[in-house]
Amino acid sequence: MKLWITGSKGMLGKDLCAMAKKNFELFESDKEVDITDETAVSGYISENKPDFIINCAAYTAVDNAETEAELNRKLNAVGPEILGKCSAKKGTRIIHISTDYVLSGAAPKPLTEAAPIKPINAYGKAKAEGEAMLAKANPNHWIVRTAWLYGINGKNFVKSMLNLMRTKEQISVVGDQLGNPTWTCDLAAAILKIAENPKLPGIYHFTGEGIASWHEFAVEIQKQALGKNLLEHAIPILPIASSEWKSPAKRPLWSALDKTKIKENFDIHIPAWQDSLSKYLDFEK
Ligand SMILES: NC(=O)c1ccc[n+]([C@@H]2O[C@H](COP(=O)([O-])OP(=O)(O)OC[C@H]3O[C@@H](n4cnc5c(N)ncnc54)[C@H](OP(=O)(O)O)[C@@H]3O)[C@@H](O)[C@H]2O)c1
């Protein structure tokens, strides 16, 4: 089976390409095939005839999205629509990656795929628009919403925390936002399970198993990093409220996702987020 992975140089894209190479004929591209250029996308599909497109290209700077409205919408809404239209014309299936930020709910119930679309920041709004336009353009779609992603090939919370823990005497981390930390390699494996056995198109949620606040996530990072000798000593990690952390984009206080649908339909076992963090930190060594 032939896969075309877009955003191949991004945090998820790189891990996904490395994994996909083992079992699929792989076509990979990043900015050189602009997903917002219909002619380029259509030409690439005609030339390479992929069975599946997996779209990992996106605009992911959540705070900058508040002011870079045009770029955010172009990448996160128009690009998916173009990929949807072009893939539909050629009968190509498509997996698209989306985000928990299209939703916002109230604790303590993990959000299912049926939860109402309720983005509270510009990035979430554009991603929600992208989901809708892609779904309308190509019924043969699998939209995989994920959250709190970290991977070896990109800027992420784990790397930022490790840097701060090495250079600061104490840090403050938001303690009242809850979600699901997710390792790119776990997500990549789930995406490839869909590609291997494409059935039941629609929206799916995938994150690491278990819920944490950013503060709890940071505490676990420090604990594990000390155990693996990635840090020399512990520093105090203080929980603060979201209201004390000034950032341009609002984030939902509760965005834990329910993964029952993907687990049941694709026979996927999702590791506890702490176990995946441990595997990831072994790459940081
Ligand atoms: N990171 C998270 O915490 C998180 C959470 C939930 C959902 N997601 C979703 O997961 C997916 C992957 O995220 P990620 O963190 O791996 O993203 P990423 O690291 O930002 O990767 C996106 C890639 O797309 C490239 N790109 C930018 N403009 C493009 C264009 N016009 N055409 C083709 N490629 C282009 C980017 O290049 P440049 O870097 O040079 O711009 C980058 O290599 C995205 O859909 C994102 O919305 C991420």
Report long-range pairs for 61-66 (Cβ below 8 Å, ≥24 apart): 61/123, 62/101, 62/121, 62/123, 62/249, 62/251, 63/247, 63/248, 63/249, 64/248, 65/121, 65/122, 65/123, 65/126, 65/249, 66/121, 66/122, 66/248, 66/249
Interatomic CA distance for residues 140 and 149, integer angstroms: 25
The enclosing domain of 11 has a CATH number of 3.40.50.720
Atom in ligand 1 nearest the alpha carbon of residue 57: 24
| % of residues, the chain, pLDDT over 90 | 98
Asked if residue 57 has its Cβ within 6 Å of ligand 1, the reply is yes
Residue 58 Cα, ligand 1 centroid: separation in angstroms?
A: 4
Tens digit of each residue's pLDDT (9 = 90 or more) over 119-133: 999 999 999 999 999
Mean of the pLDDT values across residues 175-191?
98
Residue 12 Cα, ligand 1 centroid: separation in angstroms?
A: 8
Supply the pLDDT for residue 104.
87
Active site residue 123: yes
In DSSP notation, 88-143 reads HHHT-EEEEEEEGGG----TTSPB-TTSPP---SHHHHHHHHHHHHHHHH-SSEEE
Grade residue 106 by pLDDT with cuts at 50, 70 and 90: confident
Supply the pLDDT for residue 239.
98
Number of structural domains, the chain? 1
Q: For residue 204, is it within any domain? A: yes
**115-147: b or e for each residue (b if 16 or more CB lie within 10 Å)?**
beeebbbbbbbbbbbbbbbbbebbeebbbbbbb
Q: For residue 242, is it within any domain? A: no
Of residues 44, 59, 101, 123, which has the active-site annotation? 123
Tens digit of each residue's pLDDT (9 = 90 or more) over 231-281: 999 999 999 999 999 999 999 999 999 999 999 999 999 999 999 999 999
Interatomic CA distance for residues 266 and 259, integer angstroms: 11
Asked if residue 72 has its Cβ within 6 Å of ligand 1, the reply is no
Q: For residue 119, is it within any domain? A: yes
Tens digit of each residue's pLDDT (9 = 90 or more) over 15-68: 999 999 999 999 999 999 999 999 999 999 999 999 999 999 999 999 999 999
pTM for this model (two decimals): 0.97
CB within 8 A of 33, min separation 6: which ones? 6, 40, 41, 44
Q: For residue 80, is it within any domain? A: yes
Residue 60 Cα, ligand 1 centroid: separation in angstroms?
A: 5
Q: For residue 10, is it within any domain? A: yes
Q: For residue 285, is it within any domain? A: no
Q: For residue 265, is it within any domain? A: yes
Angle CA(142)–CA(144)–CA(148) in degrees, nearest 5? 170
Domain region containing 36: 2-154+182-209+255-271
- Ligand 1: residue whose CA is nearest its atom 32: 34
